[in-house]
A and B are shown apart, each in its own frame.
Chain A
Amino acid sequence: DIQMTQSPSSLSASVGDRVTITCRASQSISSYLNWYQQKPGKAPKLLIYAASSLQSGVPSRFSGSGSGTDFTLTISSLQPEDFATYYCQQSYSTPVTFGPGTKVDIK
């Protein structure tokens, strides 16, 4: 199985900050990397698919980049509604696997 890691595991940031979350795969997964946002008590929500494609309806302050083993999710200007946990997911092979998550909270 492909192992996914994320860093940092948590971060504190202020509204307006630029936030970057990193995701690393244990082997090359090309661009088969997705990002999800999850708020407490809610289902995950797809933000980015195929490493850099923005899901319909997701604000443009979210962007993704990377290929191979290293990927990043960037929030260009953090908004109050962005405080949540973010997960990466590889879809290169079955089983699909998720990273452990990065919790973004208010500084």
Chain B
Amino acid sequence: EVQLVESGGGLVKPGGSLRLSCAASGFTFSSYSMNWVRQAPGKGLEWVSSISSSSSYIYYADSVKGRFTISRDNAKNSLYLQMNSLRAEDTAVYYCAREVRGSVTAIRYFDLWGRGTLVTVSS
């Protein structure tokens, strides 16, 4: 079955760290760019970070730059998000999402999402 499964969420104090994982199965993980997208309780979707298939290109939202690090292990079909210096405003459900890119045009979209993992930053 084609799926993404996130793990690693939980309750952490402000200033603390957490590492999220996303396990991919059912498709050739190494062929796709991957993303993290988060959603604060009752709020909309916010893109967090992306990583290309070979890890050559990495991007972050300004809100997490310098605090979060995205990485992947294609041998393990896994995506990661290391989150440091966590703040209350980082509280959200974190989704990993597979990115499809057009072969000719610059079209790209997120066609496969995990169920998400909840990160709560609170003292």
Residues of A bordering B, CB below 8 Å: 31-32, 34, 36, 38, 42-46, 49-50, 55, 87, 89, 91-92, 94-101
20 contacting pairs across A/B (C-beta < 8 A)? A32-B106, A34-B110, A36-B45, A43-B116, A44-B37, A44-B113, A45-B113, A46-B109, A50-B105, A89-B45, A89-B109, A89-B110, A92-B106, A94-B50, A95-B61, A96-B47, A96-B108, A98-B45, A98-B46, A101-B44
Q: Taking CB as reference atom, which chain B residue is nearest A1?
A: B62
Report Cα–Cα, A100/B107, bound state, in Å.
Answer: 21
* A55 and B95 in contact, given A94-B59, A97-B47, A100-B44 (Cβ under 8 angstroms): no
Q: Taking CB as reference atom, which chain A residue is nearest B4?
A: A43
- Which of the listed residues A44, A45, A87, A97 has the most CB atoms from chain B within 10 Å of its own CB? A44
Q: Taking CB as reference atom, which chain A residue is nearest B46?
A: A98
State the main secondary structure of chain B at its contact with A.
Answer: strand
Binary A-proximity of B107-123 (CB < 8 A = 1, otherwise 0):
11111011110000000
State the main secondary structure of chain A at its contact with B.
Answer: loop
Report Cα–Cα, A92/B106, bound state, in Å.
Answer: 8
Residues of A within 8 A of B110 (CB): 34, 36, 44, 46, 89
Least CB distance from B92 to A in Å reads: 13
Q: Taking CB as reference atom, which chain B residue is nearest A46?
A: B111
Residues of A within 8 A of B44 (CB): 87, 98-101
Q: A32-B106, A46-B109, A87-B44 are in contact. List 19 more A-B contacts (CB 8 A).
A: A31-B107, A32-B107, A36-B45, A42-B115, A43-B114, A44-B37, A45-B113, A46-B110, A46-B111, A49-B107, A49-B111, A50-B102, A87-B45, A94-B59, A96-B47, A98-B45, A98-B46, A100-B44, A101-B45
